[in-house]
Structures are given as C-alpha cells and as structure tokens.
Amino acid sequence: MVKLNTRNIKRENETAVGYLNNLDEGQTENMENGYSEVKVEGLNFFYGSKQALFNVDIMVEEKGVAALIGPSGCGKSTFLRVLNRMNDLIPGTRLEGRVTVHGEDIYDPATDVVKLRKKVGMVFQQPNPFPKSIFDNIAYGPRIDGQKNKAVLSEIVEESLKGAALWDEVKDRLHEPALALSGGQQQRLCIARALAVQPRILLMDEPTSAIDPIATQRIEDLIRDLCTDYTIIIVTHNMQQAARISDNTGFFLQGEMVEWGKTSQLFTKPEDQRTEDYITGRFG
Amino acid sequence: MHSISEKVMKIIFLICGLAIIFFLAGILFTLLSNSWPALREMGLAPFITPGRWNPGAYGEPTYSLFNMIYGTFMVTVGALVFAVPIGVAAAAYLAEIAAPWERELFKPIVEVLAGIPSVVLGFFGLVVIAPLISRIFYIPSGITALNGAILVGIMALPTIITLAEDAITAVPKEYRNASLALGGTRWQTIWKVTVPAAFSGITAASLLGMGRAIGETMTVLMVTGNMIAWPESFLDSVRTLSANIAIDIGDVVFNSIHFHALFVAGLLLFAITFLVNLLADILIHRNPEVNK
Ligand SMILES: Nc1ncnc2c1ncn2[C@@H]1O[C@H](COP(=O)(O)OP(=O)(O)OP(=O)(O)O)[C@@H](O)[C@H]1O
Ligand SMILES: [Mg+2]
C-alpha cells in the first residue's frame, strides 16, 4: 500500500517531484503529532458476517480534495461512513483496525461521537434539507449546539450560505421552505448547513449524482474553493470529476484500496494494473 | 365462467361499499328527522345559547345544551392535554428507540387497551381515579370533569399512539441521517427533526383519537357526576352531550319535544365528531413531508 505525504500540496501543479515518495517511519510518526488529518490503518469492516472493506490503509492530509473512485458496491460509501461513524447506525456492523482523526482514535470507547460528527461533516448523495425554512436548516447545527442568540445565528447563516455560494440566490427568501429550492440549490444548502457547524473535514458521497450538469459545475467550483479551508473527501462515480477536482485519488475495488496517490499520477501512470484497467474503462 | 364470478364478486363488494354510505345517510336522516320537530318549534338558538337544561319544568321547560357542550369541550380538551404528550412520546419511543422485542411486547398491550370496554374503564375511574383525585385535591368527591378527561384520554391513547407511530415511521430517514451527521444527538433528532416533520400526521392522530373518545358515553357517564350546572373548574361535576342523551333517554316521553331535543344533542355530537374527523383527514392528505 502506498502512503503519501500530501500535507503541503493544495494544487497538483504546485507540487514537486518526490512527492510520491513513501514516507519512512520517522516521518509518519511526525505527521501523527498534529498534521495527519485522517489516518486509517488495517481497516476491516463487516456488515454482519459480510466483509465490505479489506485491510484499508490511507493517510489524508490537511486541506485539499481527496476523491474515492471505484465500481458500484466496492465500499466507497461504507468507507466514508467509517470516518464519521455513521455506520454505527446500521445494526450488526463491526470494524477492525485503527481510524484516527487529528491523531485521535475515533473508535476508542471514550470518543464522543457527537463531537466527532461536528468535526467531520457529511453531505449526502440525495440533497436532504429538513422540511424547515432555509434559515432554520442552516441554523439547525448551531442551535442544537446551544446557540440561541438571533444576531449570531443570522451571521452564521449568512456566512455559511456565502461559503456555499448560495447567499445571493436565497438572501431574500431565507424564511421560505428549503424544499422549494431546486435540486442543485438544495445540495448547496446542505453544504452550507454542514459548514455552519464549522467542521474541519467534509465528507461528500456522490454529491452531484442527483443533480443536473450546470448545478454540478457550480458544486465542483465550490468544492475547489472550500478545499483551501477544509479537508474534503469525496466519493464519485465520475472519473472525470475526480480528475477535475481532486488532489489525491483512491481507487477501491471489491472492498480493497487498490491504489491511493496523487490524482494526476493515478490517472496518467497508475501503479496497479487494476487501476489502469478501471480508468481506461476495461471494467466497472 | 371466470369472468362471471369476477363480476359477481365485484357487485358484492360494491354493494358492501354502498351499504356503508347507506348506513351513514340513514343515521344522518334519522337524526335530522327526529330533531326536526324540536328545531321547527324553537329554532337552533335555544339549544346552543346559555341557559339550563330543564325539559321537565312546569310551564316553561328549557332546553339549553350550552353547559353540556362546554362540558364536552372541557373533557375533550382536558383529555388532549395529557393524552397527546404521552401518546406522542410513546409513539416516538416505539418508532425511534424501542428494540424490536420491546415493540413486540408493547404493540399488543396498546391493542388490548383499545379493546377494553368503556364500562370497565368506568369502573377503573370510579374505584381508582376518583379516590386519587379527591385525596390529591382535598375535595369530597373525585367524580369530576378531571376524572372524565383522564379516562377519555386513556381511551384516545391507543389511536393516538398507533397513528402517530405510523406518521413518525413515515418520516424519511434522510432527515434523521442529516441531523445525526450534523452532530445531533438521538434526542435532538427526535424532538427537533423527526417529530416536527411528522407534525400534521401527529395532529391528525390526536384528532382521530379524540373523535373516537368524544362520544364515549359510558365511561364519562360513570365518572363525571353529570350535574347540569355550569362547571367552574375541572374539579366540578360536568355532564357531556352523550351522557345527557343516555341519562334522559330512559324515561323521556316518546315523540315529546324533550325526546326530539335529545336528538338535537345527538345531531350536535355527530356534527362535532364529523368536523373533527374531517379536519384529521384533511391534515393526513396534505402532509407534504410524508407524501414526498
Ligand atoms: N446497510 C448495509 N447492510 C449490508 N450490506 C451493505 C450495507 N450497505 C452496503 N452494503 C454492502 O457493502 C458493500 C459496499 O457497499 P457501498 O455502499 O459502500 O458501496 P459503494 O462503493 O458506495 O457503491 P455505490 O457506488 O453503488 O454507491 C456492498 O456489497 C453492499 O452490498
Ligand atoms: Mg455509495
């Protein structure tokens, strides 16, 4: 398994050669003391007796976009849900291995799942705004966090909507139902709602698969903007999308992380034959 | 051959369906035609304006149902006040929290509760709730509006629980996931997302529960004391519309004005329940969240 140091790389063209070098152990330890955003070691995941992930290792560095690609059913969503423990909600699931976020073992019994999910936000495949107003959707996270001050909430709502490039479109109708927005707007609303909680990491599971191409374009632009402030891990079915927006890409196949590397590298000079077969469309 | 039997079946089902409409129309017709002599003589006003119900008075009998409409209202609202929170909480528990075995255990219990004859529930009100009320509030008798409200609430509970649980279960799981992924706890998710999303369904459940309980005569009759006077508080005795009919019908002179006045009470009761059910139905059918 290839482990990459991508800490200082935000855009692929800023990068230097040697970036693909495997880290030696000393460096790895260093990374853990503060920088490694997400680190997964020897992850096995089971739905009941069915194993969905096999010995996955990955190290995602701060900021930037990491894309996860692979054929349907290969475990991308499962992997994403490991990172904010949404899999906990599915009865009968089991996990082996170590998953750390900012050096903290998130499967430690002492971990506060609620805190973890505030730090690791998630945007779903289908836009899922609450049947509430636009304002109340965004304010939901801060409110359950105890924020009651109207002025503060208004500011958070405005900032979050601006962050999600939706403010101009909805600023005059914040109190209208969120479900009246178009699909693409709803998805940006969901992104804004996630931003309002001030996460460090944003998980996105095929966020554009349910919306039209123009809305998709806007969300891709948004993701590129957001990745200077947030670490984004995105699952996508669309290889062009991964190539367009991500700094690093991981290729999953049948629950295995076949290859994980710099996006430009992975799409042009894949190390594994199976990756090459997949990206050249030979299967999947 | 096959198609003939199918046609016959279809006609049989159609007749059964029509029979329900026929029964409903028949009941309405009976109520109207029997109320008519009283309404023709006095109009509706004397029945629904303040006054006394004193059909047996010499010279000037009075037929005001006002206090009883108020009594019915009191018992109903009182019942809602405690049955809705309990029912919704129980429904939320069943739909969102309970382990499968707990649900298996609880559901039949709710059904048994629904099946308790109202007379039996009346006994419970008399020997358990009445003494409790009199002890708690230091009043000589626990036979009060409060007692009736509690029992009517208990009778409404099974309907409320069952229908509210359906409404909560129908809330798309995407809302739940969104809330949990934002760092919401299970409680926050239930009370701030799931239950509000099921709001119209829950309201409909409450209304239907009440609609069923409003007309429950026996229980209320046994535990509210049935005084005709204006009730000052929940600790006073009240008479509801249905109790009024049941009490008087035994010794009323057939086809007298008194007799027809009782039908007016029935008509009012019918109208109230009909409106409540209609409202519930409207709410159920315009439930955008659940139908989405
Ligand atoms: N709730 C579940 N219970 C049991 N098995 C599941 C569950 N969710 C997913 N799986 C199984 O785990 C495997 C990985 O599923 P997952 O949804 O993670 O794949 P995916 O890569 O996201 O697929 P897609 O691209 O179609 O979304 C599949 O074999 C799937 O059938
Ligand atoms: Mg998936």
CATH number for the domain spanning A90: value is: 3.40.50.300
Determine what percent of chain B is predicted with pLDDT higher than 90: 60
pLDDT at A36: 75
Domains, chain B, ordered by start: 62-291 (1.10.3720.10)
pLDDT at position B250 = 87
Nearest ligand 1 atom to the CA of A255 is 14
Taking 80 as the threshold, does the pLDDT of residue A10 lie above it?
Answer: no
Contact (CB<8Å) A128/B185: no
Q: Is residue A166 part of a domain?
A: yes
Rounded average pLDDT over B160-181: 93
- Two structure tokens written together for B111: 């059904």
Tell me the ipTM for this assembly: 0.83
pLDDT at B287: 54
pLDDT of amino acid A190: 95
* E-only strand ranges, chain A: 38-47, 50-60, 64-69, 93-101, 104-105, 120-123, 201-205, 231-235, 248-253, 256-262
Residue nearest to atom 4 of ligand 1 (CA): A47
> Is A144 part of any domain?
yes
Residue type, B158: P
CA angle A60, A222, A199 (to 5 degrees): 50
**CB B212 within 8 Å of CB B156:** yes
Q: What confidence score (pLDDT) does residue B148 get? A: 93
**Interatomic CA distance for residues A24 and A4, integer angstroms:** 10
Instruction: Give me the residues of B, 145-204, that contact A with CB < 8 A.
Output: 172, 174-175, 177-185, 188, 192-193, 196-197
Interface of A with B (CB under 8 A): 84, 86, 89, 114-118, 121-122, 124, 126, 128-132, 140-141, 143-145, 179, 190, 193-194, 197
Q: Which residue has the higher pLDDT, A18 or B153?
A: B153
Closest-CA residue to B239 (of B110, B145, B155) = B145
Distance to chain A for B185, nearest Cα, Å: 7
CB–CB of B114/B212 below 8 Å? no
Ligand 1 atom at minimum distance from A237 CA: 25
The model's pLDDT over A216-261, given as tens digits with 9 standing for 90+, comes to 898 899 999 888 999 999 999 888 899 999 999 999 999 999 999 9
> Tens digits of per-residue pLDDT, B25-57?
999 999 999 999 999 999 999 999 998 899 888
Residue A5 lies in a domain: no
pLDDT value at position A8?
37
Nearest CA in chain B to A142: B182
Using CA coordinates, name the residue in chain A closest to B181. Answer: A117
pLDDT of residue A132: 92
Is residue A24's pLDDT more than 50? no
Contact by Cβ (8 Å): A224, A245? yes
pLDDT value for A66? 94
Locate the chain A residue with the closest alpha carbon to B185: A114
pTM: 0.80
Confidence (pLDDT) at B153: 93
DSSP string, A60-95: E-SSEEEEEE-STTSSHHHHHHHHTTGGGGSTTEEE
Whether residue A4 lies inside any domain: the answer is no
Q: Touching check for B287 and chain A: CB below 8 Å?
A: no
Q: What confidence category does residue A283 fall into, taking pLDDT thresholds of 50, 70 and 90?
A: low
Q: Is B184–A144 a contact, with Cβ atoms under 8 angstroms apart? A: yes
Residue B1: CB partners within 8 Å, gap ≥ 6?
Answer: none
What atom in ligand 1 is closest to the CA of residue A50? Answer: 5
pLDDT at residue A32 above 70? no
Q: Do B192 and A144 touch (CB under 8 A)?
A: yes
For residue B41, the one-letter residue type is E
- Please list, in sequence order, all residues whose beta carbon lies within 8 angstroms of the beta carbon of residue B41, skipping any fewer than 6 positions away: B257
Rounded to a whole number of angstroms, the distance from the CA of A267 to the nearest CA of chain B is 32
Q: How buried is B140 (Cβ within 10 angstroms: 0-12 exposed, 13-18 middle, 19+ buried)?
A: exposed
pLDDT on residue B1? 59
- From the CA of A45, which ligand is nearest? 1
Residue of A nearest to B175 (CA): A130
Position with higher pLDDT, A210 vs A24: A210
> Which ligand sits nearest to residue A205's alpha carbon?
2
- What's the A205 CA to ligand 2 centre distance in angstroms? 7
Q: Which residues of A touch B191 (CB under 8 A)?
A: none
Pocket test for ligand 1, best of A44, A51, A77 (most atoms within 8 A of CB): A77
Q: Is residue A218 domain-resident? A: yes
For residue A4, what pLDDT is reported?
39
Residue B289 reports pLDDT greater than 60:
no
A177 DSSP 8-state letter: B
Residue among A243, A250, A248, A239 at smallest CA distance from A284:
A239
Mean pLDDT of B102-116: 91
Give me the pLDDT at residue B162, please.
93
| Cα→Cα distances A241→A59, A216, B3, B229, B247, Å | 21, 10, 58, 77, 78
Distance in Å, alpha carbon of A100 to nearest chain B alpha carbon: 18
CB pair distance less than 8 Å for A144 and B183: yes
The residue with tokens 């509006």 is: B145
The whole-angstrom distance between B286's CA and the closest CA on chain A is 14
Q: Which of A253, A275, A273, A274 is closest to A262 using CA atoms?
A: A275
Q: What is the pLDDT of residue A3?
A: 39
Would A11 be classed as within a structural domain? no
pLDDT band at A35 (very low <50, low <70, confident <90, very high): low
Contacts of A89 in chain B (CB under 8 A): 177, 180
pLDDT of residue B182: 95
Q: What confidence tier does A62 reach under pLDDT thresholds 50, 70, 90?
A: confident
User: Could you tell me if residue A90 is inside a domain?
Assistant: yes
**Edge-to-edge strand order for the sheet containing A248-253?**
A104-105, A93-101, A38-47, A50-60, A256-262, A248-253, A64-69, A231-235, A201-205, A120-123
| Mean pLDDT, all residues of chain B | 89
In the predicted structure, residue A151 carries a pLDDT above the cut 50: yes
Q: Is A257 in the pocket of ligand 1 (CB under 6 A)?
A: no
Residue minimizing CA distance to atom 2 of ligand 1: A47
Number of domains chain A contains: 1
Neighboring chain A residues of B179 at a CB cutoff of 8 Å: 130, 140, 144
What domain range includes position A122? Answer: 16-279
A7 found inside a domain:
no
For A276, the 3-state DSSP assignment is helix
For the cut 50, the answer to whether the pLDDT of residue A169 exceeds it is: yes
Q: What is the DSSP letter of A265?
A: H
Angle, helix B66-92 to helix B145-169, in steps of 10 degrees: 40
Would you call B222 helix, strand, or coil by DSSP? helix
